[in-house]
């Protein structure tokens, strides 16, 4: 699977994603500059975290109208996969590729911490190797990660089983205390109706080797690559 | 043509920033404040033949970029209206 990691002015997780894809997963990967419009040679585009365009106006607002994001519309329509993490999630919402929006954290603080995520939907390419209710550990690092959607959009999300990850306790209970930013219904990650575009505030690329405290972020990529076998163990390369 | 856009959170959406500012004001003795919301002002200068055209173009800018329709409402004020109120020099 060929990956592209998009780089905007102000992106900061591009190198981390590139490292994980090339050095941990051994997949072909290249950087894609934000002015690029040709994504024809890619299977999965990653929108990494950071502060694209300095978060001017709103987080992800300017990046959400950039040439590469415009090109994503065709890319998605022809079946390409998109993973947006942190600022990448904000960009996907700003571009209208995912519903809702991300607002200032309810606590008004920048939150940089480990979180537990309970898996709600295992019928996406990014979560198909997981069991429903499994708890993953991944860090967050953001000031504007409070997910918001109006009542109708929330109904649609639920009806379409589009909520993939929710902030939870270590045992998987979804509680108010486990919600680091005030997100609606503890939502941490959602997909488009087709399940091919995932946006999440946590950072899978920062939880990709045991030395980093967790390797759970890899599960998203391994689901995508189809390299998880039924009993939950990994196929050996 | 000079146009001022006011962008604010929609009614019903919790404005945590506004709440924090209100609390700070209360700390300074302004306890009579019952509600406070923080928004954004965007001033746009553009070249159009008429005020109506300017308003239409800025409305399009709001829909495409300046405001996020999920969270925000906007109002457009023309320089003429503002001048009448003494709001622009």
pLDDT digits (tens, 9 = 90+) for A129-163: 899 999 999 999 999 999 999 999 999 999 999 99
Q: Which of B9, B70, B71 to mutate to test the interface with A (most CBs of A within 10 A)?
A: B70
A15 noted as active-site residue: no
Protein fold of A3-225: Rossmann fold (3.40.50)
pLDDT at A110 over 50: yes
| Token code pair at residue B37 | 């919301």
Report chain B (89 residues): mean pLDDT per 10 consecutive residues.
95 92 96 96 95 96 96 92 65
Q: Mean of the pLDDT values across residues A26-40?
A: 96
Q: How far is A98 from chain B (nearest CA, A)?
A: 12
Residues of B within 8 A of A65 (CB-CB) are 64-65
Residues of B within 8 A of A94 (CB-CB) are 68
pLDDT digits (tens, 9 = 90+) for A154-195: 999 999 999 999 999 999 999 999 999 999 999 999 999 999
Q: Point out the catalytic residue in the list A86, A94, A116, A142.
A: A86
Q: Mean of the pLDDT values across residues A195-202?
A: 97
Per-residue pLDDT at B88: 56
Residues of B within 8 A of A61 (CB-CB) are 65, 68
Of B16, B20, B71, the CB nearest to A101: B71
Of B16, B65, B68, the CB nearest to A101: B68
Per-residue pLDDT at B86: 66
Give the other-Cβ count within 10 Å of A16's Cβ: 20
Per-residue pLDDT at B80: 73
The band of A10, judged by pLDDT with boundaries at 50, 70 and 90, is very high
pLDDT over 70, % of chain A: 95
A107 noted as active-site residue: no
Per-residue pLDDT at A67: 97
A93 noted as active-site residue: no
Q: Which residues contact A119 (CB under 8 A, 6 or more apart)?
A: A127, A130, A131, A132, A133, A134, A135, A136, A164, A165
pLDDT at A107 over 70: yes
Q: Mean of the pLDDT values across residues A208-218?
A: 94
CA Rg value for chain A = 16
Of B20, B66, B70, the CB nearest to A101: B70
Give the other-Cβ count within 10 Å of A226's Cβ: 12
| Token code pair at residue A164 | 């993939």
Q: How far is B21 from chain A (nearest CA, A)?
A: 11
The band of A86, judged by pLDDT with boundaries at 50, 70 and 90, is very high
Closest chain B residue by Cα to residue A98: B70
DSSP element (H, E) containing A64? none
Q: Mean of the pLDDT values across residues A71-80?
A: 96
Domain range annotation of chain A: 3-225
Total beta-carbon pairs less than 8 A apart between chain A and chain B: 33
3-state secondary structure of B16: helix
Q: Could you give the domains of chain B? A: 2-84 (3.30.1280.10)
pLDDT at A227 over 90: no
Per-residue pLDDT at B87: 62
Q: Does the complex come out with an ipTM higher than 0.90?
A: no
Q: Mean of the pLDDT values across residues A95-110?
A: 96
Of A106, A108, A148, the CB nearest to B70: A148
Per-residue pLDDT at A233: 53
The band of A94, judged by pLDDT with boundaries at 50, 70 and 90, is very high
User: Are A61 and B68 in contact (CB < 8 Å)?
Assistant: yes
pLDDT at A236 over 50: no
Per-residue pLDDT at A23: 96
Residues on B contacting A at a C-beta cutoff of 8 Å: 13-14, 16-17, 20, 64-66, 68, 70-71
Backbone φ and ψ for A23, nearest 5 degrees, come out as -90, -30
Rounded Cα distance, B22 and A2, in Å:
51
């Amino acid at each position: 699977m060929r990956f592209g990691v998009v780089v905007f002015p102000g992106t900061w997780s591009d190198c981390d994603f590139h490292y994980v894809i090339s050095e941990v997963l051994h997949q072909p990967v290249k950087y894609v500059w934000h002015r690029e419009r040709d994504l024809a040679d890619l299977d999965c585009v990653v929108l990494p975290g950071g502060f694209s365009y300095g978060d001017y106006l709103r987080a992800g607002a300017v990046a959400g109208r950039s040439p590469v994001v415009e090109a994503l519309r065709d890319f998605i329509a022809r079946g390409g996969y998109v993973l947006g993490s942190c600022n990448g999630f904000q960009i996907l919402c700003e571009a209208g590729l995912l519903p809702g929006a991300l607002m200032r954290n309810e606590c008004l603080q920048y939150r940089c911490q480990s979180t537990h995520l309970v898996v709600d939907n295992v019928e996406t390419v990014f979560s198909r190797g997981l069991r429903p209710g499994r708890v993953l550990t991944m860090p967050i690092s953001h000031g504007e990660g409070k997910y918001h959607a109006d009542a109708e959009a929330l109904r649609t999300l639920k009806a379409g089983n589009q909520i993939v990850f929710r902030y939870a306790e270590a045992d998987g209970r979804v509680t108010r205390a486990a919600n680091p930013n005030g997100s609606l219904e503890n939502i941490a990650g959602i997909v488009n109706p087709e399940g091919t575009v995932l946006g999440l505030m946590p950072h899978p690329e920062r939880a990709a080797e045991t030395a980093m405290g967790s390797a759970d972020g890899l599960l998203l990529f391994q689901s995508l690559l189809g390299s998880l076998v039924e009993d939950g163990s990994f196929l050996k390369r | 043509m000079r146009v001022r856009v006011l962008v604010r959170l929609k009614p019903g959406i919790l404005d945590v920033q506004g709440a924090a500012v209100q609390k700070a004001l209360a700390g300074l003795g302004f306890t009579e404040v019952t509600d406070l919301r923080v928004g954004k002002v965007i001033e746009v200068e553009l070249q159009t033949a008429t005020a109506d055209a300017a308003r239409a173009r800025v409305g399009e800018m709001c829909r495409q970029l300046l405001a996020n329709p999920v969270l925000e409402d906007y109002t457009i004020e023309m320089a003429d209206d503002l001048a009448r109120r003494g709001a622009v020099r």
